[in-house]
Amino acid sequence: MDGSIARPRPLLALGVRLLTAAALATMAMLVKLAGERGAHLIELIFWRQLLATVLLGTGLALTGRLALLRTNRLGAHARRAATGLLGMLFTYGAVLLLPLAEATTLSFTAPIFAVLIALVLFREKIGPYRWAAVGIGFAGVLVVMQPGAGLHQGVTVAGVIVGLIAPFMVALISFQIQDLNTTENPWSIVFWFAALSAPVAALGLPFAMAAHDTETWAIILAMALMGALAQMLLTTSLRFGSAAVILLIDYTALLWATFYGYYVFDRAAPASLWLGAPLIIGAGVLIAWRERQLARERTAASRAGQE
């Protein structure tokens, strides 16, 4: 990536996001696996961010492309790092507290939170279509979690709360990344996120670090590598397409999560998930469709104003 200005390429964005969903689901599986073997949340985050910093920095240095890391927006990178670190705490926390399929399904509420963020932070007018999507999406959450019938096996109230905060943070971070993509390249965005957040995560190591066997360290290393790859793919996808549309591809992560949940953790997804997930996914589809319609209307109005 040699330019700094994002160029819309929707098919490329969708393809990259498809790989992103697979990488994120695999990373989540490895996070949960490492957690079950005694690795602490803070420890996992530190190693992921440290490894990403070392790999990116070394790779760019060896290829003579360190100049890509130059930036005049260190403050924006720092804000993204702070939000991203908090987001990782909740995202990893949800994976550790909930079964993979449930944690993944809750993550699909990110487009719904994106609508609410647009309303509150950007004073965007929300019409009936998107309000309906918000209602449908949260109805899906209620169906999946069945609070009136008692939470099903492996699901806790704390897990559900953490699992809903995580997609809120993802939605907020998506806006930040899209803003950074207007002036920065993906390598710079990923590097500064890792480099600025790793030292902060290191502050918690004295309280979280533990001895591990070789297999656990191998899982932690694989998790960190997959996380760095996923972060690069995610940032690239947001460079070439709008967050509202490409978030649709994230729904394929449920297939991966269900597969990993069954074959790695010996837990099949409950029937309530298959009833509620379509509502949440349908809400995201409705939001993406409406966002596309609004974008077309804005483009048409802009062209008309120039004539």
pLDDT in tens, the chain (307 residues): 344 444 566 677 778 888 988 998 999 999 999 999 999 999 999 999 999 999 889 989 999 999 999 999 999 999 999 999 999 999 999 999 999 999 999 998 988 898 899 888 878 888 898 899 899 998 998 888 776 555 556 678 889 999 999 999 999 998 898 889 889 988 899 899 999 999 999 999 999 988 999 999 999 999 999 988 887 787 777 677 665 556 667 788 899 999 999 999 998 888 888 989 999 989 888 887 887 787 788 777 777 666 6
Residue 170 · residue 141 · CB < 8 Å: no
Residue 190 to residue 69: CA distance in whole angstroms: 10
- pTM for the whole thing? 0.84
Residue 248 · residue 16 · CB < 8 Å: no
Residue 13 · residue 248 · CB < 8 Å: no
Residue type, 278: P
224 assigned to some structural domain: yes
281 assigned to some structural domain: no
Residue 52 · residue 227 · CB < 8 Å: yes
Residue 199 to residue 201: CA distance in whole angstroms: 5
174 assigned to some structural domain: yes
131 assigned to some structural domain: no
Alpha-carbon dihedral 231, 233, 235, 241, rounded to 10 degrees = -150
Residue type, 51: L
Largest Cα span, the chain: 69
137 assigned to some structural domain: no
Alpha-carbon dihedral 144, 16, 91, 275, rounded to 10 degrees = 0
Residue 42 to residue 207: CA distance in whole angstroms: 9
What's the domain range around 42?
10-110+156-267
Residue 237 to residue 256: CA distance in whole angstroms: 19
116 assigned to some structural domain: no
Q: How many distinct structural domains can be found in the chain?
A: 1
134 assigned to some structural domain: no
170 assigned to some structural domain: yes
Q: Which of 306, 303, 281, 294 is nearest to 139 (CA)?
A: 281
Specify the DSSP class assigned to residue 182.
T
